[in-house]
Amino acid sequence: MADAECPDCAGAVKLKEGAEQGEIISCPDCGARLEIASVNPPKVQPAPKVEEDWGE
């Protein structure tokens, strides 16, 4: 399967087996916080910013 492309550095981002759309991962090249937009085809986008009202 092709890799996704980091929107920040254009580096290749390989999705792990069992990756789920909506999961947050880091770009292995630049460390950018990314959200898996789709698994098939593999696509990542910048992760949503953690807001003041986030939590448990």
Partner 1 sequence: MTIRLGFVYTIITPENKMLLEAARKRGIKAAKLSDAELLMDIGGRSGRQGEEYDVVLQRSSSLARSLYSTAYFENCGVQVVNSYAVQALCADKALTTMRLAHEGVPTPKTMLAFTPESAMKAIDGLGGYPVVMKPVIGSWARLLSKINDKEAAHTVIEHREELGSYLHKVYYVQEHVQKPGRDIRAFTVGEEVICAIYRNAKNGEWLTNTARGATASNCPVTSELREIVLKASKAVGGGILGVDLMESERGLLVHEVNHSTEFRNSVAPTGVDIAGKMIDYVVKMARK
User: Residues in the site for partner 1, rule: CB under 8 A?
Assistant: 20-24, 35-36, 47-48, 50-56
* Closest to 36 measured CA to CA, from 15, 51, 8: 15
Question: Which CB, 10 or 14, lies closer to partner 1?
Answer: 14
Residue pair 9/16 in contact (Cβ under 8 Å)? The answer is no
Residues 6+ apart with CB under 8 A from 1: 15, 40, 42
Least Å distance, CB 38 to partner 1, is 12
Question: Which CB, 5 or 35, lies closer to partner 1?
Answer: 35
Least Å distance, CB 42 to partner 1, is 15
